[in-house]
Amino acid sequence: MIRAGIIGATGYAGGELVRLLLGHKDVEIKWYGSRSYIEQEYASVYRNLFQIVDDVCRDDNMKELAEQVDVIFTATPQGFLASVLDEELLKKVKVVDLSADYRISDVSVYEQWYQIPHRSPQLIDQAVYGLCEINRDRIRKTRLVANPGCYPTCSILSIWPLLKEGLIDPDTIIIDAKSGTSGAGRGAKVQNLFCEVNENIKAYGVASHRHTPEIEEQLSRAAGRPVILNFTPHLVPMNRGILVTAYASLKEAAGPEGGGSLPSEAQLREVYERYYGKERFVRFLPAGICPETRWVEGSNYVDVNIAVDPRTKRVIMMGAMDNLVKGAAGQAVQNMNLLFGLPEEEGLMMPPLFP
């Protein structure tokens, strides 16, 4: 039985982690950390777990926690884990960090976009970026997983195959993303009140959102050279779900006579089939079917598809997933499974809930 502790268990991602781990046959939650609700019953914060969870919330004592558990999940504000993690802790316990602290390999990029100093830059190298479909083997061998952001997970998985295969121009990538409101967290802010979000859609963080360098770093790996791109998130009046609509220009293959030709949609589809055909959690949809967030709600799936526009010679790459599952807690469990040598899909095979 894997003993798990959660720091930040009363945020939306933390709550989802609890839900998923309760259904995982090899895990026992030993520590519900929540600085805001210390000594209060966890089930009084999330009443869906009444008569299911009996524990109370506890303070963020990493040292004590490291003695009691095998894995710590940190669903905490940026900077928290970097300020408390050290080599000693990592010798005792594995860590899956749902914050951004170890996602960016260049500490100056982190500090510039997050506007806080990084307190343990020496550990960044040890961390593995926990996008399981890409880094599976490296995750199995690490002690510290940087669980990807919600937008980056959906964006990278949607774009990766075509970029990796050199079929799109890396300089033309534009990602227009839409998220449900649980992504904004459970903090009491006027802008996230029901009446402010309902019956509204808006862009935010335009040309400045902190997930941008995370996406760029990973896509640069795929492209084999630096990628900079536009990323625009939007807030949608729904609880869960992220939809990515990404655009890029197709590269023309050099023709025999010098004239170029575009890859056909069939050729592009074959690439996705090859990359994702054996993945349990990435579903490449039939031609002509657009991903929709309703079809993945509550599950760890990412639905992906593409459409080619021969008029503009662009491809539109689309992905849909549940931001709290594959975009946070589900992927964290998937990473934990890899860390402990369990089947990657253990505890994650529940079908999506509809409607």
Window 250 to 289, contacts with a second copy (CB under 8 A)? 283, 285, 289
Q: One-letter amino acid identity for 207?
A: A
- Rounded to 5 degrees, what angle do the CA atoms 315, 275, 164 make? 60
Which of the ranges 117-125, 145-153, 218-226, 292-300 carries the binding residues for a second copy, by CB under 8 A? Answer: 292-300
Would you say 142 or 212 has its CB closer to a second copy?
Answer: 212
Burial (CB count within 10 angstroms: exposed 0-12, middle 13-18, buried 19+), residue 203:
middle
CB of 276 to a second copy, least distance (A): 11
Would you say 91 or 311 has its CB closer to a second copy?
Answer: 311
How far CA 313 is from CA of 228, 249, 251, 310, in Å, comes to: 20, 6, 8, 5
Would you say 125 or 204 has its CB closer to a second copy?
Answer: 204
Respond yes or no: is residue 150 known to be catalytic: yes
CB of 84 to a second copy, least distance (A): 26
Would you say 99 or 181 has its CB closer to a second copy?
Answer: 181
Position 109 contacts a second copy (CB under 8 A): no
Position 192 contacts a second copy (CB under 8 A): yes
Which of the ranges 57-65, 73-81, 103-111, 174-182 carries the binding residues for a second copy, by CB under 8 A? Answer: 174-182
Position 137 contacts a second copy (CB under 8 A): no
* C-alpha to C-alpha distance for 240 and 307, rounded to whole angstroms: 25
DSSP per position, 137-163? HHHHH-SEEEPPPHHHHHHHHHHHHHH
* C-alpha to C-alpha distance for 325 and 199, rounded to whole angstroms: 25
Count the alpha carbons within 13 Å of 78 in the hemisphere toward its beta carbon. 14
Would you say 20 or 81 has its CB closer to a second copy?
Answer: 20
* C-alpha to C-alpha distance for 95 and 34, rounded to whole angstroms: 17
Question: Could you say which of 24, 210, 211, 240 contacts a second copy (CB under 8 A)?
Answer: 240
**Residue 323 token pair:** 């931001």
Position 34 contacts a second copy (CB under 8 A): no
**Residue 81 token pair:** 């884990």
* E-assigned strand segments in 80-151: 94-97, 128-129, 144-146
Position 99 contacts a second copy (CB under 8 A): no
Category of 127 on φ-ψ map: left (φ > 0), alpha (ψ -120 to 50) or beta:
beta
Would you say 4 or 197 has its CB closer to a second copy?
Answer: 197
Pairing state between β 282-284 and 202-203: unpaired
Position 13 contacts a second copy (CB under 8 A): no
Residue 201 burial (CB count, 10 A): 10
The footprint of a second copy on this chain (CB under 8 A) covers a number of residues equal to 81
Question: Could you say which of 7, 215, 243, 250 contacts a second copy (CB under 8 A)?
Answer: 243
Which of the ranges 78-86, 128-136, 228-236, 329-337 carries the binding residues for a second copy, by CB under 8 A? Answer: 228-236
Question: Could you say which of 39, 88, 91, 194 contacts a second copy (CB under 8 A)?
Answer: 194
The answer for residues whose C-beta is within 8 angstroms of residue 254's C-beta and 6 or more apart is 260
Phi (first) and psi of residue 18, to 5 degrees: -60, -50
Would you say 36 or 122 has its CB closer to a second copy?
Answer: 36
Residue 351 preceded by cis peptide, ω within 30? no
Position 113 contacts a second copy (CB under 8 A): no
> 38 to 97, contacts with a second copy by CB under 8 A?
46-52
Annotated catalytic residue: which of 57, 132, 150, 154?
A: 150
Which of the ranges 71-79, 107-115, 194-202, 253-261 carries the binding residues for a second copy, by CB under 8 A? Answer: 194-202
Position 210 contacts a second copy (CB under 8 A): no
**Residue 105 token pair:** 């390999």
Question: Could you say which of 5, 8, 11, 15 contacts a second copy (CB under 8 A)?
Answer: 15
Which sequence positions are flagged as catalytic? 150
